[in-house]
Every structure is written in C-alpha cells, then in structure tokens.
C-alpha cells in the first residue's frame, strides 16, 4: 500500500524533495531512487516531517513507534488494518497527534478511497492536512473508529470484489463465443462507463440500474437469474466476513 500511495502522490505532482522515505531493504531504496529520485533516510530524519505515514505490517508498529520521536506538531498516520488509534497513542510519546487511514489501491491511479479516523490530539488544521494528503490520490471520508471495520470491508477490499465480478463476466463472454481479448475489452469499458455514471450522474445505483432494465428485456432476464442464485445475499455475507476479519485483526487476544 505504501508503494501505491507514493506512486499516486508523485503522479499528482509531488517533488522528490517533498518526500522522505525509510525502507529497510537496499533493493527498495535503489528502486525509490531510480524511480522517483527519493532518498532513503534514517528514521530520526523522517520523524521531523509534518505528516509521517507508517505503511508497515501491523506486527511491526509497536517497535517502530518506540523508535519514533515525532517533531512537535507532526501527525503520525497509520495505513495498516488492525492497528487502532488507542494503540498508536499508547506506543507514541504522550500527546502525539495520530490518525488512522484506510486507503485502497485505487490511489495508484489517483482514484483511491480513504477512510480517516481522527485521533484524540488531532487539531482541525492537522485533520485538514491529513485529508488533503489523501484527497491528492482520490477522496476521503472522515468517520468514527467503530465504523472503520465496515469501511475496510467495503472500500478497502472492494476493488477485489469489482475485479472478481469482472473476471466472471469476462469468463462468461468467452463461454458465449467471444475471444478473451474481446470479452475483456467489452467488460473493462462497461465498468469504466458504469463507474463514471455512478460518480457523475448524481443518481443512485438503484436508479441507474432501473433506467437500463426493461421488464421484458435481456437485462431483466439476467438480473432475475442473478437473484435466483442469491448473488445479492452472497455479497452481504462476503462483506460481513471481511468486516469480522478486520475486527479480529484489531483484537489480537481473539
């Protein structure tokens, strides 16, 4: 996720001098230097930044926070599932401003969706800086932490659901006699059109679906078959499973 965010920010016009990165592996450091002209720096130097993004595995957070001494006024931002605001605040120096953010990989193309939880010590100005950072690679939604697992299940995992449906539609096209390339072109453009309509029309998904569905037409026939197979219920169950998994990740005692 850290790499997707960095690529998105650089594509949005950031300069290499705006960014300081800490990586442990030499190969990663070389890639960052070659790809973006960004230097790998010691953790104490990165800690002097205004916004400090921690994009590491959850089991590494406590040790990294112990080594981190954020500059006065800095905000420490977690983009890891399962690490709560309370945990971050307990691992960092007293009074550190922290935020919890769940982006998705749409950030790679500047179309990410990021949920933001505000920590206890985050000022309005700092919150605006955090949302501005992630608005640079898509859009943000500030919400209470008790809704964070649901957000993770919808937008955090949601791209995979969309890709899964696209896979199935492409396979169906092949089954009906199209080449895989033809089917992929049809499906990819159809998804692009649908997502653009959702984003720009001001209409709900239900309204848009109803507008292209005629009672005696092919679309209605297809949707009835999807309902017969319980596809809507399967999505409800899948999202509930993802939310439950996110909750367990945030509670290591379970």
Mean pLDDT of the chain: 91
Higher pLDDT, 141 or 30: 141
Residue 180 CA, chain-centre distance (Å), reads 29
Q: Is the pLDDT of residue 176 over 70?
A: yes
Q: Is the pLDDT of residue 254 over 70?
A: no
Predicted local distance difference test score (pLDDT) of residue 251: 64
DSSP-assigned letters across all residues of the chain: -HHHHHHHHHHTT--GGG--B--S-HHHHHHHHHHH-PPB--HHHHTTSSEEEE-S-GGGHHHHHHH--PPTT-EEEE--TT--HHHHHHHSPTT-EEEEEE--GGGGGT-EEEEEEE-TT--HHHHHHHHHHHHTTEEEEE--GGGHHHHIIIIITHHHHHHHHHHHHHHHHHHTT--HHHHHHHHHHHHHHHHHHHHHS---HHHHHHHT--TTSHHHHHHHHHHHTTHHHHHHHHHHHHHHHHHHHT-TT-
pTM (two decimals): 0.86
User: pLDDT (tens digit, 9 = 90+) per residue, 185-209?
Assistant: 999 999 999 999 999 999 999 999 9
- Out of 3.40.50.720, 3.40.1280.10, 1.10.287.810, 3.40.50.1360, the CATH code matching 2-143 is 3.40.50.720
Region 233-248: what's the mean pLDDT? 94
Q: Do 2-143 and 158-249 have matching folds?
A: no
Say which residues have a Cβ less than 8 Å from residue 99's Cβ, sequence separation at least 6.
75, 76, 77, 78, 85, 116, 117, 118, 119, 122, 126, 127, 130
Instruction: Flag whether pLDDT at 133 surpasses 90.
Output: yes
- What does the pLDDT read at residue 250? 64
User: At residue 213, does pLDDT exceed 60?
Assistant: yes
Pairing of strands 97-102, 112-118: antiparallel
Q: pLDDT value at position 76?
A: 95
Percent of the chain with pLDDT over 90: 66
Listed by start position, the domains of the chain span 2-143, 158-249
Question: Which of the listed CATH numbers 1.10.3730.10, 3.40.50.300, 1.20.950.20, 3.65.10.10 matches domain 158-249?
Answer: 1.10.3730.10
| Model pLDDT, residue 42 | 78
pLDDT over 80 (residue 215):
yes
Can you tell me the distance from the alpha carbon of 21 to that of 33, in angstroms, rounded to the nearest whole number? Answer: 10
Q: Of 13-22, 79-88, 93-102, which gets the smallest average pLDDT? A: 13-22
């Amino acid at each position: 996720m850290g790499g997707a965010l960095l690529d998105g920010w650089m594509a949005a016009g950031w300069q290499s001098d705006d960014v300081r990165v800490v990586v442990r592996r030499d190969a990663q450091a070389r890639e960052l230097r070659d790809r973006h002209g960004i230097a790998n720096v010691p953790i104490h130097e990165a800690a002097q930044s205004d916004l400090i993004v921690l994009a590491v595995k959850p089991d590494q957070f406590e040790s990294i926070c112990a080594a981190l001494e954020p500059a006065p006024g800095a905000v420490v931002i977690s983009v890891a599932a399962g690490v709560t605001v309370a945990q971050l605040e307990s691992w960092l120096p007293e009074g550190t401003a922290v935020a919890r953010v769940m982006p998705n990989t749409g950030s790679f193309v500047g179309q990410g969706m990021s949920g933001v939880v505000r920590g206890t010590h985050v000022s309005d100005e700092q919150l605006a800086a955090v949302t501005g950072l992630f608005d640079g690679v898509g859009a943000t939604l500030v919400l209470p932490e008790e809704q964070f697992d649901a957000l993770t299940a919808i937008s955090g995992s949601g791209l995979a659901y969309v890709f899964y449906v696209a896979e199935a539609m492409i396979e169906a096209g092949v089954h009906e006699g199209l080449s895989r390339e033809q089917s992929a072109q049809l499906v990819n453009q159809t998804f692009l059109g649908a997502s653009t309509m959702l984003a720009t029309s001001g209409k709900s998904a239900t309204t848009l679906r109803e507008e292209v569905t005629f009672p005696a037409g092919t679309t209605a026939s297809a949707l009835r078959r999807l309902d017969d197979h319980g596809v809507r219920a399967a999505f409800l169950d899948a999202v509930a499973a993802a939310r439950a998994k996110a909750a367990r990740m945030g509670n290591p005692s379970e």
